[in-house]
Chain A
Amino acid sequence: MLQTAFNGFVTGIIVTLPALAITLLFGVLKFPNFAVGAMMTLAAYLVFALNVQLGWPLVVATAVAAVAFGGFLIMVDYLTFKPLRERGSITLMVASLGLGFVLENIARLGYGNTARSFAIELARPFRFLDIRMNREQMIIIGVSTLAMVAMYVLLTRMPIGRAMRAVSDNPALALVRGIESPRIIRWTWFIAGMLLAIGGVLIGMDRALEPPMGSSYLIAVFAAAILGGLGSPLGAFVGALIIGIVSELSTLVIPPNYRIGIPLCVIALILVFRPQGLFGQPYIRK
């Protein structure tokens, strides 16, 4: 059982990055973005191209791809969501659904449906306290933790982070305090893009690289963000770990194929009974 909990912890920690991306995007843009799964997929394939096809080391490939992908998302936002900014959140959600189709299938178009993997050295798994862990999982935990720490510093100590939290808290007030929302929006997409790219690579390390890889995590990512409270970065982190661990542990009692039922139920229950999640603020839609 400890093994299952550990696996759940790893899954959860992978989910923290995209959950944070969703919560940041929701805070600033005010709508749930269904394209994040496909975004992770596309970013992962970009890293694949650099890592396997061009032969770059995985770390370098990821770093370069993360920055490039951040820029890419700024462009995507400009083309897709910016024209729809004034429309309601349903329109934006539907657009994000469409965007998800496009991005996932660009990956499929380029690389087909066969599963791939990154070029990393094989290493033997080791045992710790009776739990089997492999090198990929250790890297995943390390990278995620680093990313989380970096995000914490960004959000609490740096001006851009404060500005993002301010816009998230009260967009109209941010305007009259001199904060230009287009700038903040661009930064938010850039940061989200980096988080999603890293998240995509982690998924590719944990599972395999195939077109549905990102979307298969979509429900879990949303559940994590919603459980934690949409708009709360701390919530995204805590929510992701809870979802990951509980989902894995649930396989001990329910058929494994229904593992995804847990995040679904969480989503439904939270939205009905406590929409602000654990740490969120009830959003006042004025």
Chain B
Amino acid sequence: MSDILTVSGLHAGYGAGDILKGIDAALPEGKIITVIGPNGSGKSTLIKTLAGLLPVRQGEIVLAGARLNEMSAPKRVMAGMSYVPQEYNVFRNLTVLENLQIAREFMSGGRAPKKNGKVIDDELLALFPELPGKFRALAGNLSGGQRQMLAFACALTVEPKVLMLDEPSAGLSPKYMADIFATVQQVNARGVSIFMIEQNATEALRISDTCLVMANGRVRLCAAAGEVLGMQDLHSLYLGDAREQAALV
């Protein structure tokens, strides 16, 4: 079992200082890794750097043997990485169908739609039952949960090796949250490796294989997800507030 994605000694940031101060991480092929940590720990910066939205200052990112450092974001998509941002993750002024089409159509290198003329496998589409009925709707008119599902589906149309999710359950109602995580598992079952950062850590860790805990731009802990779930002292600090969730219901 080799690692499909490896990160070594990664440094990155926005302004003067570095936010990421030397991150090491590895995602074995076919597995799910979740990164958790308090606000400001650098989770968001990490995923953006991996996606290509921030330049690498030091260190390396390797995906399936290819070094991503110098590649622009679109080229990383071609290399097999797909990223779902936390917000503004669909094209609101385009229809649902157009959103799905666009990822494959105009990719750098331009992959043609699949042989049967569809942009997304029927099997894969079956994971998103709410979408087909809404192909002609503007993405901006969907509900929050539906938009998230759409963003997810779009990211899958490029047949990625690694799918990166930035707080996929953020702002979703409990129903959609459960749906999202179920979908993550189903997608993973089809062979897509998953790299996730999450605030609702408990739910995320239940479906993950590995967990990375970040704080202050560094990795504090890397362990099996099950172990981390059991750690009492981490619970209140890093696992997001399970009590807040309970209060909402």
Contact = CB atoms under 8 A, between A and B. Distances in A.
Contacts of B53: 172, 175-176
B93 A281 contact: yes
Of A160, A165, A168, A176, most B-chain CB atoms within 10 Å: A176
A166 B100 CA distance: 12
Contact of A179 (B51, B74, B85, B94): B74
A177 B98 contact: no
Interface string A145-176: 00000000000000110110110111011111
Contacts of B94: 162, 165-166, 169
Contacts of B154: 177
Contacts of A174: 91
Contacts, number: 81
A176 B51 contact: yes
A174 B107 CA distance: 10
A237 B94 CA distance: 19
Nearest to B164: A176
Contact of A176 (B83, B98, B106): B83
A173 B77 contact: no
Contact of A162 (B88, B101, B107): B101
B56 interface: no
Interface in B61-86: 72-74, 77-78, 82-83, 85
Q: Which of A168, A172, A184 has the most CB of B within 10 A?
A: A172
Interface residues of A, number: 22
A88 interface: no
B91 A166 contact: yes
B57 interface: no
Q: Tell me the dominant secondary structure on chain A's binding face.
A: helix
A177 B77 contact: yes
A283 to B, nearest CB: 12
A166 B91 CA distance: 6
Give the size category of B's interface with A. Answer: 20 to 34
Nearest to A281: B93
Contacts of B228: none
B91 A175 contact: no
A177 B102 contact: yes
A212 to B, nearest CB: 36
A71 B219 CA distance: 50
A178 interface: yes
A178 B88 contact: no
Interface string B26-40: 000000000000000
Contacts of A183: 108
A173 B85 contact: yes
A187 B74 CA distance: 17
B158 A165 contact: no
Contact of A163 (B51, B73, B90, B102): B102
A20 B88 CA distance: 26
Contacts of A176: 51-53, 73-74, 77, 82-83, 85
Nearest to A160: B106
Interface in B153-181: 154, 158
Most buried by A among B74, B85, B92, B158: B74
Given A178-B74, A281-B92, 13 more contacts: A159-B106, A160-B106, A162-B102, A163-B102, A165-B91, A165-B98, A169-B91, A173-B88, A175-B52, A177-B102, A178-B78, A178-B108, A178-B158
User: Closest 5 CB pairs between A and B?
Assistant: A178-B107, A178-B77, A175-B73, A163-B106, A159-B105
Interface of A: 159-160, 162-163, 165-166, 168-170, 172-180, 183-184, 281, 284
